[in-house]
Every structure is written in structure tokens, then in C-alpha cells.
Amino acid sequence: MSEASDSPPPSQNPVISETYDASKLGKLEGLEAVRKKPGMYIGGTDERALHHCVSEVLDNSVDEHLAGHCSRIEVTIHVDGSISIRDNGRGIPVDIHPQYGIPGVEMVLTTLHSGGKYGQGGYKFSGGTHGVGAKCVNAVSEWFEVEVSRGGQVHHMRFERGKTIKKLEVIGKARATGTYITFKPDNEIFRETTVFQTGRISQRLRELAFLNSGLEIAFLDERPAGSKPETYYYKDGVEEFVKQINTGKTPLHPKPIRITKETSVKNDDKQSEIHLEVVLQYNDTYNDQVLCYTNTIHNPDGGTHLSGFRSALTRAINQFSKANNLLKDKDPQITGDDVREGLAAVISIKHSDPKFESQTKVKLLSPEVESIVGSVCYEGLMMAFETTPSIAKRIVDKSLNAARAREAARKARETVRKGALSGGGLPGKLADCSERDPALTELYIVEGDSAGGSAKQGRDRRFQAILPLRGKLINTEKARLDKVLSNEEIRTLITACGTGIGEGDESVGGFNVNKARYHRIIIMTDADVDGSHIRTLLLTFIYRQMKGLIERGYIYIAQPPLYKIKRKKREQYVDNDEQLNRILLELGSEDVVLKRLKDQHVFAPAVIDRIVESLAAIEKLGAGVTRYGAGLAEYLDHHEKETHALPRYIARLREGNKESHEFLRDESARAAFLERQGLNADLTPVLADSGTTPPLPVEKKPVAPARRVTLHEIFESTEMTKLLKAIAASGLEINRFSTTEEARYTVTENVGQKTETTTELRAPLEILGHIRSLGRKGLSIQRYKGLGEMNPKQLFETTMDPDKRRLLKVSIDDAAKADALFTLLMGDEVPPRRQFIEDNALNVQYLDV
């Protein structure tokens, strides 16, 4: 049925008087197009797109390595949420472009489809091919800075939301070369989150180090207190990558098979160079992990290099088994699925002119690659099999066992499917919902009948279904599929979800995500050891047999509250430590009077809340200052009185046991400081011109104490300046943050009561500490663990109510890391698991004993 419309039929439409001419056409200038439609350029505005921005800048540094000009990359996440990427490559050109009349660095950071990767000879292989990478990052950043060390000078530019704020200027001398980019994501674009995930970035950096032997990558996340840098460097490159994938698994052959080839091919009247490297090693597990890369860019959806490799692998194993009479007449035919069981492989190609599906390069489309990879891999595998026939026989035996197990699993899946069709469909323990549209329904998988009973009573029956699971599931990491399907709890789960499992024909129980009965499947277990174990077992099964549910974003983990706090008649569940700190400040701000003593001004309650919120944010950002030995109050005292701008740099001078520091306002102040110290921008001494006659030896004098100078950029200064402006607008006096001898403020609590007390405070930051201590008065904080501790109403309100609950969506951001972690935690190898526990024991916040 079509919707009713108030517009007249076509024949009765009124005549449009306005003329349609060129004046009605618009044009987006500069990078406005990227800000208007970021999805076209970075794939969206979610967390994945946020991290794609890091990859875009990082890939430019890696391209310098591929060109033979970069050996080290440094990546740092700062406390304010900005991120820096520094390399020792050639540096982006800074000379004036002969055609466009602007510096090269400004052109490549502000003009779409510009760069050195269009065949002008700048790069032979590169991850960037569309000329939209770094400038798109510039467009979606609140601010973006670049420093280029080139030609003996350091050049600097600053942008805000894609627009040039500071033109290119020389800010110092340089002995080395390189590019240093820092940017802060814009929350106007990334409304879901602007927080970089340490694990996601560190895994990508480790991956790049594997794929680029000889490249050293250093990574530091400054946000946690006491964090230390990590360094990734792998001499054997991809071979070490495959060995890492197989960590915790037993390899069928000790040394991975490595296939390499350099060739050129003519395509579309253009000669392209292709370098291929494939490394593979079989293990004793039942799952495969094949990762594909083009010019070090991960292609999660594979492409022509993956299809060429798969066909070559199947053909080579079948050919070897037939030639050596390793198959009996009664044996099932070995398929592509069978030869991939237990396979760990990395396919890395370098292509001078690759074709991708989109700007995010998730899939390689270059048609010539498939035949090249197919023929090279087939020849390489046959040669490896013939030179080491014992290894080849082990691989064939494993493939044959996989084929037999596939037949057994097919029969088991058929049994599950028939049982679902003939037995009335759904399992008896499932409490289904009345809604039948999968997009509107959700399934709670609950630990145990007790919590399941509370969930059934507390749920909204219209759209919430409950499936209680009793006891521990079978560990699917250690069992073949036919044995897994004999487990009653697993069969119940498969039937309730309705998708089938594994790969293969859906008519015999194969997985089909479009048949999912619920588009939210929520794992709800206790926050203790047993609950974590059950959750891991469930995720292991879903990851191995129903991965499509995770890829579609259908799998969630319920987040029960972490604390229960009580104060007088107020009870509240608290989700995390950050929320607890916010509540402490809210409680401390209740019923207090903040007075400014110099004029007896009393702040309104709403103003107190804003002041406390801003001071708390400054305190958090202050870690970016105090780590360099300066006091936060002292640093804040150096803000500009008119603009409240804070110093951008801290210089630390150490001579013997004496240490001092100096605050430097901006790039000009930094340049002047370096000149006074006789230092280049990289803090190396400015050397005299080469060719000068060395001085004659002189009589030895007592050695002076060693002098050391370090220079640190305070990226958090921009955000703290905003907060200072907000505090000043609230009326708080901020000329001095350091403690004074005389009191400047008073905080009075329990106003109008017999227990009324007034405290004198001598600095703005003391207000924050005092308010926080007031918030803890009379407050009991209970660590919360079990779902069974709440009645049905409380369970719904805290964990199941869509308006109040917190859900954690399960995603596969890094398949290799996920695969390795499931193998480590759930596999047969005990020593690696013990090592993991020992390494992470001190990081555990809450331990159930």
C-alpha cells in the first residue's frame, strides 16, 4: 500500500516560476566535500573510520620505507586524544609547485587528488593511489599540524578542519629529514567516538613491522599513567608473522613454506610491476587464517590474490595426492574447504598500479593478479611438496581427515536441521518474544536457570527472548564439528538463532545470516570467573561457526553495573570508574556554597557544576604536563592573560644533579630557544661547516657536568586553553593557579544546619580535591558481581532496559589477533596460556577468589 500524499497529481502541479540556470549550481571548495560526505573518503564516521585516519597517515610513512628512504616510524597517542606519526623519510616537499604556486606540503594536504603517487616517479609501490588520504584526515580533524625536516630546515604548518591557519614557516634547523604529523579527530564528524583504541593501533603497527622487514616502529600511549613505549622490529618479516599466527598451536612442519616472485605484466597498455610473497604453515587446529595485503594495506575482503592462492592450493594438494596414490576409491573428494583446515598463511603483494574496490581498500580487484598468484603459488607448492614429500603427506592426510569430518558434520547438521523442523521448531527452554520481525527482536543468552528465571520475569515480552544455558559449553576450539553438534546446549543455541552453522549449503544446515531470528543476540553472564569462562566459550563457538553474526554486528555483551553506591536514601548502580568519579563530584557539589573572598561573590549551583567539570578535565589533561617534570599549577600560570593560550612546549635542562625547565609559547619561541642552546630541531649540536681545520689539542681541563636538553610538545595545550576560557567565563579567578598564602575561596557544606562547616582554599585546583572528598562522605560503595543479586525489576532496569542499559558490541577488528587469542585461551597448549596469565596478572583490576 502506498502512502497518502498531499501533493496534486502531475497534471495539476503548479508551474515553477524560478528558472533553473547556472546560478543554481554549487561547488564545494577545498576539503568541504570531505566534511560533507566523509563516508565517501574514509568509509564512515564510526570507530573503524576513526582508526582508518591513522592508517592513511601511517601508510604515507610506510610508502617512504617501500621507496627505501625510511627506517623508523614513531606513533604516539596523547592525553588529549590527539595522535602523532613521525618518520625519518625524505620529508614532504616544501618548495613551491611550479604549476600551482603553493608549497608542495600545502598542496598534498589541502587539494584532493594530489600527491606523488600518480606515476611521476615519486613512488614505485605505495598504499596510497587515489591522492585523498592525508588531506581527508586533515579535513575531518579539529586541528592538524605538520612539521617537515628537509634541506637543513624544519618547516611547520597548522590547519583547522581542513583550512590553513598558519602558513608554511621555518621554525628551526635540522640535520636529518622526515615528516611529523599530529592531528586531533573532530567530534563534529566522529560523533560516535573520538577515542583511539590502543590494541587496534598496536596490532596494526605490529602487522606493518611484520610486512616490512627492516622497519622499526615505536609506539607509545601516553594516556595511562606510567605507560612505556613498545618497539616492533622483525628481521624475517612475513615468516615471523605466520609463526606468530601459529603461536599456541602445533605446526605440522617446523619451517613455513615461503614462495616469492618478482614479475611485470602489461595491463591496459601499461606495464605494472608485481612482487609476490606468500608464506604458509599448517597447524593441528581445525580452522584457517589467511591474511591478504597489497602494498602493506590489509584487504579484509580478500580479492584476486586470495582467489588465485586458494585455487592453486587446492589444485596442488589434489595433484600431489593423485600422483602419489595417496587417495583410496572410498575416500571423499578433497575440496577447497578441506585443504584450508589448519592453514595459517599471509599473502603479501606489492603492485605498482593496484585497483581496489573502494578508497578503504578492503578488496583487491586487479584482474591480472589472480592468474599470476595462481601460477606462481602452484609451481612453488609443487616444488615444496616434491622436495619435502613427508611434509606434503602430512598436509594431504590432514586435508583427507578434514574431508571425512566434513561428511560427518554434514550428517550432524542435517540431524539438527531435521530436529528443528520436525520437533515443533524451537527448544523448550527458550522463552520467545511475540514480535516476529528479526530487526526488532533480541535474544538474551543467560547463564543458568536462576538468572534465566529473573530475566524471564523482568523482560519486555514483546521483543525480548530469553535462552538460559545450563553448565559449561563444550570447548569448540578443541573439538571437531561433529562432536560439537552432539552437545545439547550447542544444539539448543543453533536452533534458537536459526542461522545454521559453518560453511556450505544452507539446505543441509549451512550458515545463512539472513535467517537470523534475532538481530541482537546478547550474552548476559555474571561478572566473575565462571561468567567470563562461559562468555568466552560462547564467543569461541560463535566466532568459529557463526562468524557472520559478528560481522553483521548482531552479537553483544551485556554490561551489568560495576558498583552499587548508597548514600542516605539514594541508591544507584554505577557502570565504571569514570562514572563513579563523576558521581563523586556531583555528590560533593550538592548543597555547598562556593564563595570568592575578594568580593564575597557567591557562585550559583549550576556554575559550580561547570567549574568542577572543567577543572576535572584540566586535571586529567595535566598528565601530559606532569610527566615531563613540571607542575600543573605552574604550567597553568603561564597562560596568556588575554587569550588564555598556554605554552606549546616544555624544555627540560639537566646539568649534573640540577634540573630546570622552561615554558616556550610557540614555534617561534622554540626556534629561539634552540638557537640559544646551539641545537638543531632534533636536539643535536649545530656543527661548523665541513672542511674546517680541527682545533689543535689543548691542555686537559676538569670535565664539566654533562648537560642534557630535552624538548617536549604539549599537545594538550589546545584543549586546556578552551577549558581555561570556560572557567574564566564562569567567574573563577584564574590569574594564578599556584597556592597563595592567603585564602581566595571558601566552600561551605551543610548550609543552614548545625553541622555547617566552612573550608578555606588557596588555589583553584584545591576546589576540585575538596569537592571530591565531600562526595565520599557517608557513601558506601559495593562491588557488584552477580546477576542473581538483583530481583527481576532491578535486572531489567540496570541491564535489559534499552533506555538505560549498556551493551558492548562484539566486532572483529583484527581477525589475526582474535584468532590467536581464542587459540591461546581455549587451545591445547598450556605453556603459552600460563605465560599470558603471568604477564597480565598485575593488570587485573578485579579478581574473583
- Give the integer Cα–Cα distance in Å for 292 and 715: 36
Q: Which residues of 671-708 are buried (b: 16+ CB within 10 A; e: fewer)?
A: bebbeebebbbbeeeeeeeeeeeeeeeeeeeeeeeeee
Sequence-ordered strand ranges (E) for 706-838: 707-713, 745-749, 757-761, 780-783, 807-809
Long-range contacts of 235-241, Cβ-Cβ distance < 8 Å, separation of 24 or more: 237/210, 237/211, 237/212, 237/213, 238/210, 238/211, 238/213, 238/277, 238/279, 238/346, 238/348, 239/279, 240/210, 241/207, 241/210, 241/211, 241/279, 241/291, 241/346
Contacts for 478 with CB less than 8 Å, ≥ 6 apart: 826, 827, 828
Name the DSSP letter for residue 3.
P
CA distance 144 to 54: 12
526 is catalytic: yes
C-alpha cell at 609: 557544576
- Quick one: cell of 477? 576450539
Pairing of strands 442-447, 520-524: parallel
Please say whether the beta carbons of 299 and 290 come within 8 A. Answer: no
Residue found by looking up cell 549550576 in the block:
606
Give the active site residue among 46, 240, 530, 619. 530
Residue 226 CA, distance from chain mean position = 21
Return the residue matching grid coordinates 563530584. 585
In sequence order, what are the beta bridge partners of 163?
A: 160
Helix axes 717-729 and 605-621, enclosed angle (nearest 10): 160
Q: Which of 528, 666, 733, 813 is catalytic?
A: 528
Catalytic residue chosen out of the listed positions 368, 447, 477, 766: 447
Strand 563-567 relative to strand 570-574: parallel, antiparallel, unpaired? antiparallel
Which of the 8 DSSP states describes residue 799? I
3-state secondary structure 226-244: CCCCEEECCCCCHHHHHHH
Kindly name the residue from 147, 526, 716, 819 that is annotated as catalytic: 526
Dihedral Cα 424, 426, 430, 434, nearest 10 deg: -90
Classify strands 464-469 and 707-713 as parallel, antiparallel or unpaired. unpaired
User: Of all helices (H) and strands (E), which one includes residue 144?
Assistant: strand 141-150
Determine contact, residues 336/361, Cβ cutoff 8 Å. no
List, in order, residues 6 or more apart from 70 with CB less than 8 Å away: 61, 62, 64, 87, 88, 89, 90, 178, 215
* Of the candidates 639, 655, 653, the residue with the CA atom closest to the CA atom of residue 712: 653
Annotated catalytic, 528? yes
Question: 683 Cβ partners below 8 Å, 6+ apart?
Answer: 674, 709, 710, 711
CB 443 within 8 A of CB 496: yes
Query: Is 449 annotated in the active site?
Result: no
Question: What span, in angstroms and rounded, lies between the C-alpha atoms of 798 and 545?
Answer: 31
The catalytic residue positions are 447, 526, 528, 530
